[in-house]
């Protein structure tokens, strides 16, 4: 029995161990390699098994990756390279990994990316979170991309070209939070008919075009927190009958237009966040006031929805106001 085990070790387990790159750990049975040692300064091509399907390189001092590096793992399906020091990516990076469906480049130092950098692989998930990207280029991706998840959060992006988003008919989740977006073009989301999750929080949006969400009928999560929104177009949410969560907190909203929340019957309990807005409690707040009375359970922290003006009602809960205080006819 011992002799048989030794033979198996030599033929399989030991071979996997001997083939593992320095400063990495290899899990032969599931074809996975993990490298998370700070002293690692170069992509660990030497020693990688050709049948590797998952490669994680994190918290290292690697500054570059090339098409040649990835050629040694033609069966790669997932590549996770977060919190390294990548500064540049070459064109056609993924040409040698035709099975790659997940690419995570979170927390690097990427600023400008070349055309075709994410072509040649059937990517479903692309994460570029927490880099230094200022400009988004439609040429990064092929036409009719297979992406279902795109995360560009935590960058320096001011505008996302409509032509890029029009290449993403399969997209289900789009995260553009924590950037410097000042506007979203009216037709930019028209092709994203499968979109379920849209995160635009922590930007500089002052308003949204009334038609921008017309084609987003499958949207279930919409995050608009911590922008500079000072008004909501009356029909902005008209098609969002599947919406479960809507965050509008920490904006500059003083009123909600009549009828604008009427289609949101699918909101979860605590699914609507309106906190930290300067609500003006005059006649124009009537619609919000009546909606709050009927939908209290759908509100997140309703006790924080308070009047910022007029001075006589400063600090009052909007829900607690009376018709006479709002000068409304009964």
Cα–Cα distance, 52 to 58 (Å, whole number): 17
For a pLDDT cut of 70, what percent of the chain falls above it?
94
The confidence band for 330, taking pLDDT boundaries of 50, 70 and 90, is: low
Closest CA relative to residue 110, chosen from 139, 140, 80, 130: 130
- Residue 301 resides in a domain: no
Residue 260 has a pLDDT of 95
Quick: pLDDT tens for 218-249.
999 999 999 999 999 999 999 999 999 999 99
Residue 195 has a pLDDT of 98
Residue 9 has a pLDDT of 39
User: Which residues neighbour 11 within 8 Å (Cβ) at sequence distance 6 or greater?
Assistant: none
- Residue 97 resides in a domain: yes
- Residue 34 resides in a domain: yes
- Residue 151 resides in a domain: no
- Residue 144 resides in a domain: no
Cα–Cα distance, 158 to 183 (Å, whole number): 8
Residue 266 has a pLDDT of 95
Q: Is residue 328 scored above 90 in pLDDT?
A: no
- Residue 78 resides in a domain: yes
Cα–Cα distance, 141 to 148 (Å, whole number): 13
CATH number of the domain to which 80 belongs = 3.80.10.10
User: Which residues neighbour 120 within 8 Å (Cβ) at sequence distance 6 or greater?
Assistant: 92, 94, 95, 98
Distances (CA, A) of 23 to 36, 42, 47, 84, 268: 8, 11, 11, 15, 47
Residue 3 has a pLDDT of 46
Quick: pLDDT tens for 107-129.
999 999 999 999 999 999 999 99
Mean pLDDT of all residues in 267-287: 95
| pTM across the whole model | 0.91
Residue 329 has a pLDDT of 64
Q: Is residue 1 scored above 60 in pLDDT?
A: no
The total number of structural domains in the chain stands at: 1
Residue 5 has a pLDDT of 37
Residue 325 has a pLDDT of 83
- Residue 189 resides in a domain: no
Cα–Cα distance, 199 to 202 (Å, whole number): 9
The confidence band for 323, taking pLDDT boundaries of 50, 70 and 90, is: confident
User: Which structural domain, as residue segments, surrounds residue 28?
Assistant: 1-127
Q: Is residue 327 scored above 90 in pLDDT?
A: no
Q: What is the mean pLDDT of the chain?
A: 92
Residue 18 has a pLDDT of 56
Quick: pLDDT tens for 185-225.
988 999 999 999 999 999 999 999 999 999 999 999 999 99
Q: Is residue 158 scored above 70 in pLDDT?
A: yes
- Residue 65 resides in a domain: yes
Quick: pLDDT tens for 13-50.
334 345 799 899 999 888 999 999 889 999 999 889 99
């Amino acid at each position: 029995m011992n002799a048989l085990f030794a033979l198996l070790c030599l033929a399989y387990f030991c071979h996997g161990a001997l083939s593992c790159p320095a400063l990495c750990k290899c899990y032969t049975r599931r074809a996975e390699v993990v490298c998370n040692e700070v002293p690692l300064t170069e992509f660990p091509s030497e020693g990688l098994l050709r049948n590797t399907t998952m490669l994680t390189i994190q918290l290292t001092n690697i500054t570059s990756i090339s098409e040649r590096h990835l050629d040694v793992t033609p069966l790669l399906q997932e590549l996770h390279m977060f919190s390294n020091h990548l500064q540049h990516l070459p064109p056609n990076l993924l040409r040698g990994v035709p099975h790659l469906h997940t690419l995570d480049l979170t927390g690097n130092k990427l600023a400008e990316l070349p055309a075709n950098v994410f072509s040649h692989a059937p990517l479903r998930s692309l994460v570029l979170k927490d880099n230094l990207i200022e400009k988004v280029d439609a040429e990064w991706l092929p036409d009719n991309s297979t992406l279902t998840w795109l995360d560009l959060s935590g960058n320096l992006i001011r505008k996302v070209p409509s032509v890029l988003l029009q290449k993403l008919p399969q997209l289900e989740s789009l995260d553009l939070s924590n950037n410097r977006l000042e506007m979203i073009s009216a037709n930019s989301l028209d092709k994203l008919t499968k979109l379920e999750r849209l995160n635009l929080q922590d930007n500089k949006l002052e308003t949204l075009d009334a038609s921008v969400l017309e084609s987003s009928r499958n949207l279930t999560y919409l995050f608009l927190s911590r922008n500079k929104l000072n008004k909501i177009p009356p029909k902005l949410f008209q098609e969002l009958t599947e919406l479960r969560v809507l965050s509008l907190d920490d904006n500059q909203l003083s009123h909600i237009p009549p009828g604008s929340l009427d289609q949101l019957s699918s909101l979860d309990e605590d699914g609507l966040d309106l906190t930290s807005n300067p609500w003006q409690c005059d006649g124009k707040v009537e619609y919000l006031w009546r909606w709050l009375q009927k939908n209290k359970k759908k509100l997140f922290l309703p006790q924080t929805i308070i009047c910022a003006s007029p001075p006589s009602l400063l600090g009052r809960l909007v829900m607690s106001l009376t018709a006479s205080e709002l000068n409304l006819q009964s």
